């Protein structure tokens, strides 16, 4: 990890599909240099993968909620892993603070969110509290 690697990461964070040749041009270096650095960062686990940024509302997911969960301490890991299995649960973090588990959940509408939270997920053994915060807008 040097300055050049960092610059490559910064470019890829915004333009994840940019060709290595163009990145190379921007950094005034060769394509093979960029490509080999990227490969290395992939192998080292610095780059975990490549994603797309989707506008959820445009594919029918009109409600996105950051949802915190509290569990019995003994069920904590089981619950966290179960949450990962739901297709609607896009992200799962374990964290300190108000809630032991934080998630990002996509739903078609409020009715579906409610169904996911309180019927599908809420029934998982060990969950003590569900705290959804609906996202109004993603600014960054």
Site residues (CB under 8 A) for a copy of itself?
Answer: 1, 6, 9, 12-17, 44-55, 58-60, 66, 80-81, 83-84, 89-99, 102, 131-140
The SS3 call for residue 1 is coil
Total of chain residues touching DNA, rule CB under 7 A = 14
**Of 6, 10, 15, 36, which one interacts with DNA (CB under 7 A)?**
36
**Which of DNA, a copy of itself, none binds 137 (CB below 5-8 Å, type-dependent)?**
a copy of itself
Does 20 contact DNA by CB under 7 A?
yes
**Which of a copy of itself, DNA, none binds 134 (CB below 5-8 Å, type-dependent)?**
a copy of itself
> How many Å apart are CA 125 and CA 72, to the nearest integer?
9
Does 32 contact DNA by CB under 7 A?
yes
Stretch near DNA under the rule CB under 7 A, chosen from 28-36, 64-72, 95-103, 116-124: 28-36
- Is residue 8 within 8 A of residue 37, CB to CB? The reply is yes
Residue 111 makes CB contacts below 8 A (sequence gap 6+) with none
Whose Cβ is closer to a copy of itself: residue 49's or residue 123's?
49
Does 4 contact DNA by CB under 7 A?
yes
Task: For residue 77, give both structure tokens.
Answer: 């890991």
- Is residue 66 within 8 A of residue 113, CB to CB? The reply is no
Whose Cβ is closer to DNA: residue 36's or residue 128's?
36
- Is residue 84 within 8 A of residue 69, CB to CB? The reply is no
- Is residue 124 within 8 A of residue 74, CB to CB? The reply is no
């Amino acid at each position: 990890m040097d300055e050049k690697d960092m610059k490559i990461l910064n470019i890829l964070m915004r333009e994840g599909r940019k060709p290595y040749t163009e990145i190379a041009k921007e950094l005034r270096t060769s394509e093979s240099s960029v490509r080999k650095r990227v490969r290395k960062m992939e192998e080292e686990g610095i780059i975990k993968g490549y994603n797309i940024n989707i506008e959820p509302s445009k594919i029918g997911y009109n409600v996105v909620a950051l949802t915190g969960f509290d569990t019995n301490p003994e069920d904590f890991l089981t619950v966290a892993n179960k949450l990962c299995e739901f297709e609607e649960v896009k992200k799962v973090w374990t964290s300190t603070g108000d809630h032991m588990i934080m998630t990002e959940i996509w739903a078609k509408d409020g009715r579906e969110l409610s169904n996911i939270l309180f019927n599908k997920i809420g029934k998982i053994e060990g969950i003590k509290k569900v705290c959804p915060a609906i996202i109004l807008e993603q600014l960054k």
